[in-house]
Amino acid sequence: MQEQDVTPTRHGPTPGGIALVVSLAFGAMLLAEVFLAPPTPFGGVDNPGAWFPPRSRAELLVAKMDGHAFAQIAEDPTMAHTVAAYHGDETDAAYRASRPVMGWAIFATSAGGQRDLVAPAALLLTALFVGLVVLAVDFLGRALNLRVGLLLLVPVMPAMVAAAAFPGVCEPLACSLVLFGLGYWCRGRTVPAIVLLSAAALTRETMILVPLALGIDHLIQKRTLKGAWPLFIPPAVYGAWVAVVYNRIGALPTSYSPMDGPLVGFRQGLAHWRLAEFVTAAVLIASAVIILKWGTSWMVAILAVHAVFSVFMNIQVWFAWWAFGRVMTLLPLLAVVALARRRELQAADAEPPARSELVPA
C-alpha cells in the first residue's frame, strides 16, 4: 500500500485544538477529584503494589484502579521488589509487570520514579494521553484520506470515562499507540507501524489482537502471508518481555489471566449489571454495527477477533462497565473513523456521473 499524505479540507476547530481542550478538561476534573472530592478510600490488600498505604490524596486517587500497578513499575522498574509489593503473590506481580509502558512513562515523567512525583505524573499523563487519543483518531482518519468530524465523541468513550474515574490506567496510551500504528500501516510505513503496535502490546496485552486481525485480513485479501510477516513482531516482543518478567519474578502472567469458558463470565457478570453496564454494552453494539456497515475490511477483522475474545472473558471483566468497556476500548474509536468513511462514501454516491459517462459512445 503506497503512502498517502492527503489532508482533507477541515472547517471549525482543529484536531490539535480539540485535543488540547480535552486534556485541559480532564486535567481540571482530576484536580477537582484530588482537592475537592472526598478522599478516596484505600482498598487495602485489594490494592497491592506501590504505596502500601498511600500517603496523599493524589496517591489514594491513582490507587483506585490499576494506577497503583503502574506506579509500582515507575518506582521499581527493575522488578527488584515487585513480588514483595504484591505480598508474595508472584502470579499477580507477573501479570501487572507484563504491562510496563505506562509505568515507564510515569517513571520518566516523575524524574526517575520519585515517590512525591509519581502520583502527580500519573494524573498529568492521564489527561495528556486522553488528548493524544483525539490526535490518534484524526491521524488514522487522515491516513485513510478521511476527515473525522466527531472527535468530541472520543472523551466520552467508555475507556476514556474510566480514565477520568480511575486515573493512571493504561488504556488511553494503548489506544493512542495502536491508532497511530494503524495509521502508519495504512500509509505503508511498516517500521513505525510495527514499533507502535509493539509498544501497544507492552502497554496492554490485549492490543496483540490488532496485529492478529491485520494478519487475518491480509490473508483473506491477498491469499498469502507474504508481506504480513512484520505483524508477528508485536507478539514476539511481548513474549520476549514476558520471558524477562519470568526471569525476574518466577511466574507467568498467563496464570493470572481473566479468562473462562465460552460465555460463562458473561452470564455470571450480567447479574451484576446496572444502567452504566447496559449503556456501555449499547455503545459497543452500536460501534459493531457501524464498523460492519462502513468500516474497512481490517476494521471488521479487528471487530471479529474482539468478539471471539469476549466470549471467553470471565466475570472479572464482564461484571462492570469499566472492565469490559476498557477491554473493548478500540471498537468505539474505530467506529468514529468508520462514520467518517460513511460520509465520504455517501458523498461519492451523490456525485453526478462524469460527462463521458453521460454521452453515449
As a whole number, mean pLDDT of residues 29-58 equals 88
User: How far apart are alpha carbons 295 and 330 in whole angstroms?
Assistant: 13
User: How far apart are alpha carbons 65 and 117 in whole angstroms?
Assistant: 18
Q: Which residues have C-beta within 8 Å of that of residue 286, sequence separation ≥ 6?
A: 335
As a whole number, mean pLDDT of residues 119-134 equals 98
**Predicted model pTM:** 0.91
Query: In this structure, is the dihedral angle defined by the CA atoms of residues 258, 261, 263 and 269, taken in order, positive or negative?
Result: negative
pLDDT digits (tens, 9 = 90+) for 315-357: 999 999 999 999 999 999 999 999 998 877 776 666 665 554 4
Q: What is the pLDDT of residue 359?
A: 42
Q: What is the pLDDT of residue 189?
A: 96
Q: What is the pLDDT of residue 101?
A: 98
pLDDT digits (tens, 9 = 90+) for 137-164: 999 999 999 999 899 999 999 999 999 9
CA angle (125 as vertex; 211, 278 as ends), nearest 5: 65
pLDDT digits (tens, 9 = 90+) for 268-326: 999 999 999 999 999 999 999 999 999 999 999 999 999 999 999 999 999 999 999 99
As a whole number, mean pLDDT of residues 112-130 equals 97
Q: Where are the alpha helices (DSSP H) in the chain?
A: 15-35, 57-62, 67-75, 82-85, 90-97, 101-109, 115-143, 158-165, 171-186, 190-203, 209-222, 233-249, 264-270, 275-294, 297-311, 315-318, 321-327, 330-350, 355-358
CA angle (249 as vertex; 246, 255 as ends), nearest 5: 65
Percent of the chain with pLDDT over 70: 92
